[in-house]
C-alpha cells in the first residue's frame, strides 16, 4: 500500500509539518515514507545463491549419472556428520521421509494394525497421514503454546487412559525444541521418533534435535532453513531400522540393503535373481543427484544462516514483549533455530485486527502450521474423530495465532519497518476494544 492511499493527515509534533497516517491510524515514519511503496515481507524467499547455481551448472555439464548415485551418498555422509548420527537417507521430500520412517518403525518393531501412535494436534498433515495410511491409530495430544509441541498434562492423560501406546511422533515446530525427555518419562515404554522438518539446527539440552529418538526426519522444501527445492532426510543410529528403510526407499529391493544383509538374503532366497529380489514392501522415494549437489552447497552455510534466524527471533521476542496487553511472548527460546516469527495474540479479535493490518501493509501471514488438525476435512475418513473442543490449548492457538516468515536475508531496515508497523498498530488500538 502506498502513502497516497492513506486517508488521514496529521500534524507532526516536530515543527508542524504534516505527515501521512495509514488508514489504520498510525503515523508513518520517515523510513516508511521512503520505503513503504516497495516494502514486502513474504513468508519465504529464494535462498538459492549464485554459488549454489554454479555448483549445479557444473554438475549438469560434467555428470554421467543423474539419478540416485555418488552425490546422494556424499550428501548423506555430510549430513550425518553435521547432525551427529550414524545413518541418513536422502529422499524426495520431508513428507515421504515421514512415510518411510513410520513404515520402517512399523516393520522394525512389528507393529500391528490398530496399534496406537501419539501425534500432536498441531503439526503438518503428513505427520499424521502416514500413521493412518499404514493402518495405525493416531492418538491426538494437545499442544503447549510455549513449545508448540505436546502439552504434558494432555500426554499424561493419554498415558493414564491408554496402557498400549506403541509410539510417539514428536514434532519440533517452528525451530523450537520439544521437551522430549519429559515426554519419555510420561511414556517410558513407547518408541519415540522426531519430525525436525521445521527445526534444522535446533538443540535440546545441548543435543541436536533429530538425535533424541530412534529416528528423525528433515525437509528441504523451498521455504525451509536450507533447500534442495524438494527433498528430505530420514536419520537414525539403528542399523536394522536403516537397513529396512534403505530397501523400502527403493521398491523394497534386497540389493539396497547393507552388504552383509544382502549376502544373507541371497543365501536364503536362491530361487530369485539377487539383483531383482524384493525383501519388503516398498516405495520409490529416491531423490536425484542434482538435488544432492544443491544440498551439499547449501549445507556449508546452514549454521551461519541459522545464527541470523536466531538473531531475528530474539529481536521479534523483544518487540512483542513491549505489548503484553496484546501478545504472549513466553516461548521456549533456548536452542531454537527459528523457522518463523509466531504471533500468539491474547484473543481472536486482536489476532484478526493485527493480521489484517499486516497483510494490508505488505506482510504475508499464515496460520500456525495447519491450525488444529482436528478441524481438517481429511480426518473424516477416520471412524472416530475427536472433538476439537476437547483440546483447548490448540484451539486457542488455532483462533488466536498466526506467523510471518523468517529467513537469513531479512535486513535490519526491513525489521525496523516491521517494528514500526506493530508499534503503529498497537498505539492506534485500545486493549478494551479488542476483548
Residues 6 or more apart from 306 whose CB is under 8 A from it?
200, 201, 225, 337, 338, 408
Say what the pLDDT of residue 384 is: 72
Residues of the chain with CATH 3.40.640.10: 50-299
Residues 6 or more apart from 235 whose CB is under 8 A from it?
79, 80, 83, 85, 87, 88, 89, 210, 211, 215, 216, 217, 218
Q: Please, what's the b/e burial string for 99-113 (b: 16 or more CB within 10 A of its CB; e: otherwise)?
A: bbbbbbbbbbeebee
**For the chain, give me the number of helices (H) and strands (E)?**
14, 14
- Predicted confidence pLDDT, tens digits, the chain (435 residues): 333 333 333 333 444 333 334 444 455 554 444 445 578 999 999 899 999 999 999 999 999 899 999 999 999 999 999 999 999 999 999 999 999 999 999 999 999 999 999 999 999 999 999 999 999 999 999 999 999 999 999 999 999 999 999 999 999 999 999 999 999 999 999 999 999 999 999 999 999 999 999 999 999 998 899 999 999 999 999 999 999 999 999 999 999 999 999 999 999 999 999 999 999 999 999 999 999 999 999 999 999 999 999 999 999 999 999 999 999 999 999 999 999 999 999 999 999 999 999 999 999 999 999 899 999 998 887 767 788 889 999 999 999 999 999 999 999 999 999 999 999 999 887 766 666
Give whole-number Cα distances, 208 to 178, 251, 263, in Å.
11, 31, 35
Alpha-carbon dihedral of residues 241, 242, 244, 245, nearest 10 degrees?
A: 110
User: Among 366, 358, 323, 321, which residue's Cα sits nearest to residue 342?
Assistant: 366
Say what the pLDDT of residue 29 is: 54
Residue 328 near residue 344, CB atoms below 8 Å: yes
Say what the pLDDT of residue 189 is: 97
State how far the Cα of 138 lies from the Cα of 135, in Å rounded to an integer.
Answer: 10
Residues of the chain with CATH 3.90.1150.10: 301-434
Pairing outcome for strands 18-21 and 8-11: antiparallel
State how far the Cα of 293 lies from the Cα of 63, in Å rounded to an integer.
Answer: 11
Look up cell 527460546; give the residue: 333
Alpha carbon 136 to chain centroid, angstroms:
23
Burial (CB count <10 Å: 0-12, 13-18, 19+), residue 127: buried
Residue 169 near residue 136, CB atoms below 8 Å: no
- Cell numbers describing residue 209: 534435535
Q: What is the fold, at CATH topology level, of the domain defined by 50-299?
A: 3.40.640
Residues with catalytic roles: 224
User: Among 361, 379, 312, which residue's Cα sits nearest to residue 341?
Assistant: 312
Right CATH for 301-434 from 1.10.3720.10, 3.90.1150.10, 3.40.50.970, 1.10.10.60: 3.90.1150.10
Residue 194: count of CB within 10 angstroms of its CB = 27
Say what the pLDDT of residue 3 is: 35
Could you tell me the pTM of the whole model? 0.90
Say what the pLDDT of residue 28 is: 52
Amino acid at each position: 500500500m502506498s502513502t497516497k492511499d492513506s486517508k488521514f493527515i496529521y500534524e507532526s509534533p516536530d515543527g508542524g509539518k504534516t505527515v501521512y497516517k495509514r488508514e489504520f491510524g498510525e503515523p508513518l515514519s520517515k523510513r516508511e515514507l521512503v520505503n513503504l511503496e516497495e516494502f514486502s515481507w513474504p513468508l519465504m524467499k529464494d535462498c538459492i545463491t549464485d554459488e549454489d547455481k554454479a555448483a549445479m551448472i557444473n554438475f549438469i555439464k560434467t555428470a554421467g549419472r543423474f539419478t540416485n548415485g555418488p552425490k546422494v551418498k556424499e550428501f548423506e555422509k555430510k549430513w550425518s556428520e553435521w547432525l551427529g548420527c550414524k545413518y541418513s537417507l536422502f529422499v524426495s521430500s520431508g513428507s515421504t521421509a515421514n512415510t518411510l520412517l513410520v513404515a520402517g518403525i512399523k516393520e522394525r518393531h512389528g507393529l500391528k494394525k490398530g496399534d496406537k501412535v501419539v501425534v500432536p494436534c498441531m503439526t503438518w498433515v503428513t505427520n499424521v497421514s502416514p500413521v493412518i495410511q499404514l493402518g495405525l491409530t493416531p492418538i491426538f495430544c494437545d499442544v503447549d503454546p510455549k513449545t508448540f509441541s505436546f502439552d504434558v498434562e494432555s500426554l499424561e492423560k493419554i498415558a493414564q487412559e491408554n496402557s498400549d501406546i506403541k509410539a510417539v511422533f514428536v514434532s519440533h515446530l517452528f525451530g523450537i525444541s520439544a521437551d522430549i525427555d519429559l515426554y519419555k518419562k510420561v511414556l517410558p515404554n513407547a518408541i519415540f521418533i522426531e519430525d525436525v522438518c521445521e527445526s534444522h539446527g535446533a538443540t535440546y539440552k545441548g543435543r541436536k534435535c533429530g538425535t533424541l529418538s530412534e529416528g528423525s526426519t528433515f525437509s528441504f522444501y523451498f521455504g525451509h532453513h536450507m533447500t534442495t527445492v524438494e527433498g528430505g532426510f530420514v536419520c537414525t543410529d539403528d542399523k536394522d531400522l536403516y537397513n529396512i528403510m534403505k530397501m523400502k526407499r527403493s521398491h523394497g529391493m534386497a540389493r539396497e540393503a547393507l552388504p552383509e544383509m544382502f549376502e544373507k538374503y541371497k543365501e536364503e532366497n536362491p530361487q530369485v535373481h539377487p539383483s531383482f529380489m524384493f525383501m519388503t514392501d516398498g516405495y520409490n522415494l529416491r531423490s536425484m543427484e542434482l538435488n544432492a549437489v544443491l544440498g551439499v552447497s547449501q549445507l556449508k552455510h546452514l549454521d551461519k544462516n541459522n545464527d541470523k534466524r536466531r538473531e531475528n527471533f530474539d529481536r521479534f521476542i523483544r518487540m512483542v514483549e513491549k505489548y503484553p496487553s496484546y501478545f504472549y511472548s513466553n516461548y521456549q527460546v533456548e536452542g531454537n533455530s527459528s523457522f518463523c516469527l509466531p504471533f500468539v495474540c491474547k484473543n481472536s479479535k486482536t489476532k484478526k485486527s493485527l493480521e489484517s493490518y499486516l497483510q494490508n501493509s505488505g506482510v504475508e501471514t499464515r496460520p500456525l502450521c495447519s491450525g488444529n488438525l482436528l478441524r481438517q476435512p481429511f480426518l473424516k475418513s477416520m471412524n472416530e474423530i475427536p472433538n476439537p473442543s476437547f483440546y483447548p490449548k490448540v484451539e486457542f492457538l488455532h483462533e488466536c495465532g498466526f506467523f510471518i516468515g523468517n529467513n537469513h536475508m531479512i535486513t535490519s531496515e526491513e525489521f525496523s519497518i516491521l517494528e514500526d508497523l506493530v508499534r503503529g498498530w498497537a498505539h492506534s488500538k485500545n486493549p478494551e476494544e479488542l476483548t
